[in-house]
Amino acid sequence: MAQTVFAPWLDADEKPLIQFKNVTKRFGDFVAIDNLTQDIYAKEFFALLGPSGCGKTTMMRMLGGFETPTEGQILIAGQDMKGVPPNKRAVNMMFQSYALFPHLSVFENIAFGLKREGKPKPEIEARVEEMLRLTRLTKFAKRKPHQISGGQRQRVALARSLAKAPKLLLLDEPLGALDKKLRQDTQFELMDIQEKTGTTFVIVTHDQEEAMTVASRVAVMDEGEIIQVATPADIYERPNSIYVADFIGDVNILHGHATRADDGYDIAYAEGKAPLHAKTSNDLGASAKCALAIRPEKVSITAKKPAKVTNAIKGKIIDIAYLGNLSTYHVEIEGGHMIKAQTANTTRLERRSFTWEDTVWLSWTDTAAIVLEG
Amino acid sequence: MRRFTLIAVPYVWLLVLFLVPFIIVFKISLSDTALAIPPYTPTLDFSSGWEGIRNFFAGLDFENFKFLTTDDLYWKAYLSSLQIAAISTVLSLLVGYPIAYGMAQAPDEWRPTLMMLIILPFWTSFLIRVYSWMGILSNEGFLNQFLLWTGIISEPLLILNTNTAVYIGIVYTYLPFMILPIYAALEKLDISLLEAAEDLGCSRLTAFWLITIPLSKQGIIAGCFLVFIPALGEFVIPSLLGGSQTLMIGKVLFEEFFSNRDWPVASAVAVILLLILIIPIVLFQRNEQKQREAEG
């Protein structure tokens, strides 16, 4: 069965729901957002990912109307949002602390926004019931926020922000306060709800796994700038910089000098060693400094030098990190570099072939590594 | 044993400093006046043994309490005190809430200074501060001189020795007790709650009514009790700033004790005042407990 891939950002005719146009935000001397331009499309699940202080929360608060851009324009559905206060925007926000009203019950919390619209009572009640069902909170309708668990509170916050059926829902680290297991369950719940309601979600997170799981596109941010925007798979497989490669997942970085060879580059990473070869469409020019990024799981580890492999390096196992399903080998190659290689533990522990101090060969194909400017 | 000692300390404290004086006052309220030192009878006489103790108890009766109901001065004084205390409480709330709100909104580095300014008046004697209000409010006082100078009024306002002066005095004196609990409640208020309310369609003003006020309710209640309870029995302020028509039970009490030298009736007045005060005190305690439960 053919599936249409959801990728409105590739369609030139598609109108973006949100447009950041050369937006700069300064707090005194500090530049939180630096001349940022970005489109977000309807029904997207857009993740802003970055370390704390990178400006992702500021971006979200500007969408919510809690901060105003120092320069530039923000458009939602084609309308300039300048001077529009939060209560006049078809945007709702789920706060990091949930910001549930402690003096109101779960029901009243969810009904809060609807009551402000002055809707008739039966309509409000029906909508709240619907939200309670959607978030599986019907049993807790009469409880106060302090009488329910963290995971339930998170769902109340979500139900409250969805109750007004906003065009755009902003989620500020929505799962930060939940423990790991609950967080993973909730991520799928979020995706499910997003799909059911057809709302555009913009999520702020510093958890790369979370961003990868839920988002249709991820924007990796650093110091007020978006470094790369792409689908989770592209971000992981084709990072555009050392920063992104390093921020998302585990990576080995080898610095070296690239010279063009065939359909890619030969990279000399150490004196007197055979250069490594990587296919790439990136153009660094004929000869340049570069960095080679290789994911640990793309590095094979063998006892003998494998035949017919483009890249192979000899090394010694220094450390083994056993993670249960996976093991990560820290291998010191000649020249002192440490390379991480990851293998799935498909056999029992006692039958594992390598141990500390073993001499092994690391190898990878010519498409496994990414050549980056360095 | 150690635990017992720990629990015993507050109870011994209460017994010595509250219950014993109260029993003494209550006993005096059941006695009769006498031209003697102390000015009442009977007094406990252990020298005549059992006979003396029996005579002592036989001499006690509720006559003074009955007397309080025959003269309408007393119940009028109680009612008037309740009224003055209630109005003063409302005025303190109206003045105190904006101040507490402003303090809670002020930048972090200002707050200790603002707090200091609120507490600063306590460094001077309460009596001196009330006296100085006489200088401000009298016919030739600073306020009237200033208003005459600006031309807003042509005749000096009569404020001193009226109930208005009493209200000013009470509000001025007890304002910190209103501000501090409200400030404590507002300071804890999470700013994101107000943002959430705005996000859900409230204007700033409705967010204030629907979120800020209900969440500072405990502080408002605590502040109101802390003003109402001492204002009810207030004596110094009405006698210095109030006029002859200002009827407050604290003043009546003082006059019974020191002008009339009728200790038994004065004690009866005091016992009734205490009974009236017990109601708001119990309510206050319950409020505090509810707050602790809500926070726990």
- Best residue in A60, A105, A116 to probe B by mutation, most B CBs within 10 Å? A116
| Closest listed residue to residue B62, CA positions, set B32, B41, B25, B106 | B32
For the cut 90, the answer to whether the pLDDT of residue A220 exceeds it is yes
Mean pLDDT to the nearest integer, B46-75:
85
Look at residue B272 in the predicted model and tell me its pLDDT. 92
pLDDT category, B132, cuts 50, 70, 90? Answer: very high
What's the whole-number mean pLDDT along residues A106-120? 93
Which letter does DSSP use for residue A84 in this model? Answer: -
Residue A103 has pLDDT above 80, yes or no: yes
Per-residue pLDDT, averaged over B265-281, amounts to 90
Mean pLDDT, all residues of chain B? 90
The span from the CA of B267 to the CA of B253, in Å, is 8
Instruction: Tell me which architecture the domain covering B67-295 has in CATH.
Output: Orthogonal Bundle (1.10)
| CB within 8 Å of B41: residues ≥ 6 apart | B31, B32, B33, B34, B59
CA distance to partner chain A, nearest, from residue B77 (Å): 40
In this prediction, residue B57 carries a pLDDT of 84
Instruction: Note the Cα A270 to chain centre separation in Å.
Output: 34
Q: Which residues 163-202 of B have a C-beta within 8 angstroms of A? A: 190, 192-193, 195-202
The interaxial angle of helices A150-162 and A121-134, nearest 10 deg, is 130
CA angle (A120 as vertex; A152, A79 as ends), nearest 5: 75
pLDDT class for B295, splitting at 50, 70, 90?
low
> Is the pLDDT score of A351 beyond 70?
no
* The dihedral sign for the CA sequence A235, A239, A243, A249: positive
Judged by CB atoms closer than 8 Å, whether chains meet at B197 and A101 is answered as yes
pLDDT tens column, B200-239: 999 999 999 999 999 999 899 999 999 999 999 898 999 9
Residue A4's H or E segment, with its range, is none
A28 near B CB under 8 A: no
Mark yes or no for CB contact B192/A116 under 8 Å. no
Q: Tell me, what's the pLDDT at A3? A: 67
- Residue in chain B closest to A168 (alpha carbons) equals B199
B199–A117 CB contact, under 8 Å: no
Which token pair is B24? 């003494």
Domains of chain A: 8-243 (3.40.50.300), 250-373 (2.40.50.140)
Minimal Cα–Cα distance from B112 to chain A, Å?
25
A116 touches chain B (CB under 8 A): yes
Asked whether the predicted pLDDT for residue A91 surpasses 70, the reply is yes
Q: Read off the pTM.
A: 0.79
Q: How far apart are CA A117 and CA A242, in angstroms?
A: 49
Q: What is the DSSP letter of A103?
A: T
pLDDT at residue A40, rounded to an integer = 93
- Evaluate if residue A1 carries a pLDDT over 60: no
